Amino acid sequence: MSGRKVIITVAPTGGLATKRDNPHLPTQPEAIAADVRRCYEAGASIAALHARRPDDEATCDPTVYRKINDLIRERCDIVLNNSTGGGINGDLVAWNDAGYHEVSWPERLRGLDGGAEMCTLDAMTCFASVAGRETLLATPPSRGRELARLMREKGIKPEWEAFSPTHLVQEVATLIGEGYDRPPYFVNLVLGLHTVFQGAMPYSPKAVQDMVNLLPEHSIFTVSAAGDCQTEALTQALLLGGHVRVGLEDNLWLEPGEPGTNLAFVERIVRIVRELGMEPATAAEARAMLGLGRP
């Protein structure tokens, strides 16, 4: 593994946390862009972005995404990856006739028009439970197919997200098998969100290994892990030949009682990468590995 290049993704904001949870959380375009620039200089090569309204609630408004993306591109050439999951408040959530809150499908699709070269592709259906409220994220096969088709038509590279082995063998395998992406496939294995998303997996070494074993051929995988299991899970990902994601979307605490910052999380994973004899990939190297063109 000596000298292997590792793609480090920073997820600076996410769709769940607030400044009440961590005052360092960047939520507005200028703050997000400044934070991403610092993380880029420290070794991050992809930015996994969520947009927020001026009141800090979630949105997939493409004008907000474009502002974030343009400000980042003025500062650096990091790979831009916009969320199509969005969040569980703000523009994304409405009360439906069935008697529960649901993430708006049309709002999710708006995230595709923010000008990013990559977007998340969450083809799963589940309930998210946050602050006592249950919110449905409904992505039946027809919607997953629509999302994948629109990404292909717009020239957007999917970041396939899998919260459990079933997502890999069902949604991811089906849509890749139908030709909605070209290799290499970039797959994010998400662990540790089982207390939030119905059907998600807690982290364990076996869970990561089992999911890696189910990856489609020609996949490049990264691991996201929420909470205090993060360092262990990401180290395992590196040892298995994978890549890593850090940031306040996944973990608010650098140490118990010490709020984290995006920069501190990137700096810590860079140290681990180098201790294992590897090197952070530059943005240009990440694009080459993923088959992307210039921004």
Strand residues in 156-261 grouped as ranges (E)? 157-162, 185-191, 219-225, 243-246, 253-255, 258-259
Residue 204 reports pLDDT greater than 60: yes
CATH code of domain 5-290: 3.20.20.70
Question: Judging by beta carbons within 10 Å of its beta carbon (0-12, 13-18, 19+), is residue 286 exposed, middle or buried?
Answer: buried
Task: State the pLDDT at residue 293.
Answer: 79
In whole angstroms, give the CA distance from residue 135 to residue 30: 30
pLDDT digit string, tens, across residues 37-62 = 999 999 999 999 999 999 999 999 99
Q: Which of 95, 162, 175, 84 is nearest to 124 (CA)?
A: 162
In whole angstroms, give the CA distance from residue 257 to residue 125: 34
**What's the half-sphere exposure (Cβ side, CA atoms, 13 Å) at 129?**
9
**Cβ atoms of 125 and 139 closer than 8 Å:** yes
pLDDT digit string, tens, across residues 87-122 = 889 999 887 777 789 999 999 999 999 999 999 999
Task: State the pLDDT at residue 97.
Answer: 78
| pTM metric for this prediction | 0.96
